[in-house]
Structure 1
Amino acid sequence: MALPVHPAGQHEADQPSIARVNDCWLEGSHHSDLDREYANHIALCAPHVPYLVRESRQLLRRMVEFLVGQGVRQFLDLGSGIPTQGHVHEVAQQIDPACRVLYVDNDPRVASDGAAVVAGTPGVAFVGADIRRPKEVLDTQEARELFDLSRPVGVLLIETLLYLRDEDDPAAVVKAYVDSVSSGSYVGIVHFSQNAELEEGLGLFSRMFGAPPLVTLRDRELLVDFFTGLELVEPGIAPVPLWRPEDDNPVRNPETVQVHAGLGRKP
């Protein structure tokens, strides 16, 4: 989710954002020098994070390919960031051009850039909205034009719930989307887990550069609540490199990766 970062003394237009930082790590072109500087600061304190973001993008590709193979042709990407570099519509429409994708993000700058990226692409739209208000998201003109909610939807929250605090009740947010889609729909989630290495990196960032991005790390066991009422697809909730990996996956010690992914089907 592209929640903006707020360095002291800077106007909003001059602030880096996590969406643009991720674009930098994914070798995209939708980021500024300030975003790249912020990305370098994060990588200095937590050198493994850029790798994890790239692994997460590969996981997104595998998940979308799986969903298209299951007959899903509608995708709702919540907290999407900027849809470039192998994002959902590129993967899905390469398999079936009839796939429809709605991207949602709450950062106005990201939403503006995202809308420009997908402008003119049939079956794809971008809306600026707060994903914590599912009814408002699904009642947007874009959602009503793109989706037939009587048919399955792939709801994706890739590194998104990380930016929802516990008081936002993220499990209830997920459930509201599940309740809004038809039987045969899926919910895919990727979430960073609590681990000493990342927490040490956040602490180092705070000492060197000021307040780090606000995130809520959650252990794998807590992610189970997000899939309540859903049938988990094998292999269940697993480290990102181990979620339906490809045969040539070169990751060393993938079981130690503290970013977990899961995909659940609504019965």
Structure 2
Amino acid sequence: MDQQHSGLAKDVDMETASAARCYDYYLGGAHNFAVDRELAQKVEAQVPQVRDLAQDNRAFLRRAVRYCLDRGIRQFLDIGSGIPTVGNVHEIAQAVDPEARVVYVDNEPVAVAHSRTILDGNDNADVVQAELEDVDGVLDSPEANRLLNFDEPVAVMMLALFHFVPESARPREILRRYHERMARGSYLGFSHLTEDAHAEYMHSLVDLYKNSSNPLVARSRHQIAELLQDFDPVDPGVVYVPEWRPETEEDRWEDPSRSLAYGVVGYKA
């Protein structure tokens, strides 16, 4: 990909590995640089199930979006959406209702550039380049103003995102600010890495990502529940991702804790 992306914006950092581009590699994508592949291959050597983890997180995204669709939600905000792959939120939502509206948000220029390419011609989906912490910049962006009405229920997806948010960034406050802007009846899809089980894998991940653009912070189930205390968790609550309403045999893991991530869908009552 390195040559084909030589014309990307100047703010693309090709010298430091990016979590979004590594994630693209784990999913079998081509939108990554040599520095990303180098880190991702080191991760694979230490955490051999990492590709399965990425696929499992995408499967959880699909189940969470379908859950919200089944409850009448027709507008979605996917923050930390990453580089587009098959099974994105707009594909899932618009297959059910072509009028469903979707806004993606990411701070990674490659992810945003490819999102714009994929969404070209789709009047009901758009992308914003912004930081998670810039709550007003996300929610009051022209793209969000055009497609989303925060006076009505919305589904906000924050998958595999907050383990890149250190305590110094006040993650609890960030979530509270998004919660305040969401209408009653809204939902939050959320997944987060943990070291509650198989700590050796998480310690390897934390160590390998420490010099990337996105250092990792693992949190316990209790800490994750505390982050989400403004939301009411829908059944089955905060569980390992394969345990959250599995639909197929591929969704079910013999040892769900090997997914290294908790998933939950929260409701704003």
Instruction: Spell out the pairing of 1:36-47 with structure 2 (5 A cutoff).
Output: 36-47=37-48
- Give the TM-score, by structure 1 length: 0.88
Unaligned runs of 5+ residues in structure 1 are: 1-10
Task: Report what 2:263 is aligned to.
Answer: 261
> How far is 1:45 from its partner?
2.0
Does residue 198 (structure 1) correspond to residue 201 (structure 2)? The answer is yes
CA contact (8 A) 1:106 1:130 kept: yes
Mapped partners of 1:110, 1:255: distance in 2 = 29
Distance 1:64 1:127, change over 3 A: same
Instruction: Spell out the pairing of 1:26-175 with structure 2 (5 A cutoff).
Output: 26-175=27-176
Mapped partners of 1:102, 1:142: distance in 2 = 7
Task: Report what 2:7 is aligned to.
Answer: none
CA contact (8 A) 1:100 1:123 kept: yes
Deviations 1:25-62 (A, max 9, x none): 21223234443333212111221222111111100000
Deviations 1:81-110 (A, max 9, x none): 112221111111111111111111112232
Task: Report what 2:184 is aligned to.
Answer: 183
Mapped partners of 2:172, 2:207: distance in 1 = 30
- Give the TM-score, by structure 2 length: 0.87
Could you tell me which amino acid in structure 2 is paired with residue 84 of structure 1? T
Distance 1:203 1:106, change over 3 A: closer
Mapped partners of 2:64, 2:267: distance in 1 = 12
Mapped partners of 2:148, 2:34: distance in 1 = 37
Unaligned runs of 5+ residues in structure 2 are: 1-11
Mapped partners of 1:203, 1:24: distance in 2 = 18
More deviation in 79-88 or 191-200? 191-200
Mapped partners of 2:33, 2:133: distance in 1 = 28
Equivalent residue of 1:12, what SS?
A: coil
Distance 1:17 1:256, change over 3 A: closer
Percentage identity across paired residues of the two chains? 32
Could you tell me which amino acid in structure 2 is paired with residue 141 of structure 1? P
Mapped partners of 1:17, 1:204: distance in 2 = 15
> How far is 1:79 from its partner?
1.0
Task: Report what 2:3 is aligned to.
Answer: none
Task: Report what 1:12 is aligned to.
Answer: 13
CA contact (8 A) 2:14 2:35 kept: no
Distance 1:211 1:35, change over 3 A: closer
Distance 1:205 1:147, change over 3 A: closer
> How far is 1:65 from its partner?
0.6
More deviation in 256-265 or 58-67? 256-265
Mapped partners of 1:43, 1:73: distance in 2 = 37
Could you tell me which amino acid in structure 2 is paired with residue 211 of structure 1? N
Could you tell me which amino acid in structure 1 is paired with residue 163 of structure 2? L
**How many aligned residue pairs are there?**
254
